[in-house]
Amino acid sequence: MKNLILILLNLFVCSFLLPAQTLTVQEKLGYPKDTKLLIIHADDLGVAHSENEATINAMLNGVVSSASIMVPTPWFSEIASYAVAHPKADFGLHLTLTSEWKNYKWGSLSGEVPGLNNKEGFLYSSVDSVYMSATIGEVEKELRKQIEKAKQFGIDFTHFDSHMATLFGRQDYLKLLIQLGREFKVPVLLARTGPRSVFNVNLDSFVTNNDVFVDAIYTANPDNFKNGMESYYTGVLNSLKAGLNIFIIHTAFDDKEMQAITVDHPDWGAAWRQADYNFFTSKSCQKLLKDQNIHLITWREVRDKLLR
């Protein structure tokens, strides 16, 4: 008992002496410093029935721990209904300012906003077009509409991220995203390095110790796809470091619907998404996670432990 009191006293003193930022995110979450935490995160829910069905399967029967929903997409209602009926499943919002596929399109929720929609009335195909057109006011109006619609449908969203990383590449957009995360008390996908890093945007004067940063983001690129997804993911899992890691993946079936949506675009196409699905529902992936002592985690756990 005396020892316990000493330990607690020590912890209490340390908590004042040590600045909060010296704690790793895994420690803030209550895990030992050497814990390899991993969120396996599927993007693009709502874009297709194929994407919804495959991702739900990969969450139920595979190791996908979290996913995010695109509110302006045609199949939003389907995944929203599922999310409401399965409140423990971990769904965030994949805030969307682009409509990138050739023959299958959606527009903004804001209606006829020239900065957000192209002359055909759809969201722009490319991130650069968004940057050239959309004012921060228009972006804020649209993001708030997407968030409000998700709330209206009853989705208990766990985090915010950004379709095609649009909100990560421009300082005013990213500040807005972080502010929205603070306002709705959800973590935002932020990293200091890696493919979704904010290294080209100076946030030093903006972020605080309360903003959650992941330590590493891993996501396959076209070369990884060509060389085999299993090889890429296996390599990453075998060398994963302690900290809060995230895999950004895209799970869908290589079926007629997905082939038609991703026509003429093999990168992030139907076969790519089937390969992601196959790996993250495989026994070999489950074994790797166990062998490497990797602890799967959700954005909900991060949200509820650190921000609420």
C-alpha closest to that of 272 among 197, 207, 222: 222
Q: Which of 81, 118, 129, 171 binds a copy of itself (CB under 8 A)?
A: 81
Q: How many CA atoms lie within 13 A of 136 on its CB side?
A: 9
For a copy of itself, the closer of residues 145 and 175 by Cβ is: 145
Q: How far is the CB of 296 from a copy of itself (least distance, A)?
A: 29
For a copy of itself, the closer of residues 169 and 269 by Cβ is: 269
Q: How far is the CB of 103 from a copy of itself (least distance, A)?
A: 4
Q: How far is the CB of 74 from a copy of itself (least distance, A)?
A: 4
**261 touches a copy of itself (CB under 8 A):** yes
C-alpha closest to that of 168 among 123, 122, 214: 214
Mapped onto helix, strand or coil, the DSSP state of residue 260 is: helix
Segment near a copy of itself (CB under 8 A), from 57-65, 145-153, 214-222, 265-273?
145-153
**53 touches a copy of itself (CB under 8 A):** yes
Cα angle 232, 233, 235; round to 5: 70
Burial of 262 per CB tally in 10 Å (0-12, 13-18, 19+):
buried
**230 touches a copy of itself (CB under 8 A):** no
Q: Which of 18, 60, 87, 111 binds a copy of itself (CB under 8 A)?
A: 111
CB 73 within 8 A of CB 49: no
HEC string of 64-90? CCEEEECCCCCCHHHHHHHHHHCCCCC
Q: Which of 20, 60, 61, 102 binds a copy of itself (CB under 8 A)?
A: 102
Q: Site mask, a copy of itself, residues 114-133, x = CB under 8 A? A: -----xxxx-----------
Helix (H) or strand (E) holding 246: strand 243-249
**153 touches a copy of itself (CB under 8 A):** yes
For a copy of itself, the closer of residues 49 and 175 by Cβ is: 49
**138 touches a copy of itself (CB under 8 A):** no
Torsion sign across C-alpha atoms 186, 152, 90, 111: negative
**104 touches a copy of itself (CB under 8 A):** yes
For a copy of itself, the closer of residues 253 and 279 by Cβ is: 253
**274 touches a copy of itself (CB under 8 A):** no
Tell me the β-bridge partners of 98: 124
* Size of site (CB under 8 A) for a copy of itself: 30
**75 touches a copy of itself (CB under 8 A):** yes
> Phi-psi region for residue 136, left (φ > 0), alpha (ψ -120 to 50) or beta?
alpha
Burial of 221 per CB tally in 10 Å (0-12, 13-18, 19+):
exposed
For a copy of itself, the closer of residues 106 and 218 by Cβ is: 106
CB atoms under 10 Å from CB of 258, counted, come to 23
Interface with a copy of itself by CB under 8 A: which residues? 49-50, 53, 74-78, 81, 102-106, 109-112, 119-122, 149, 152-153, 255-257, 260-261
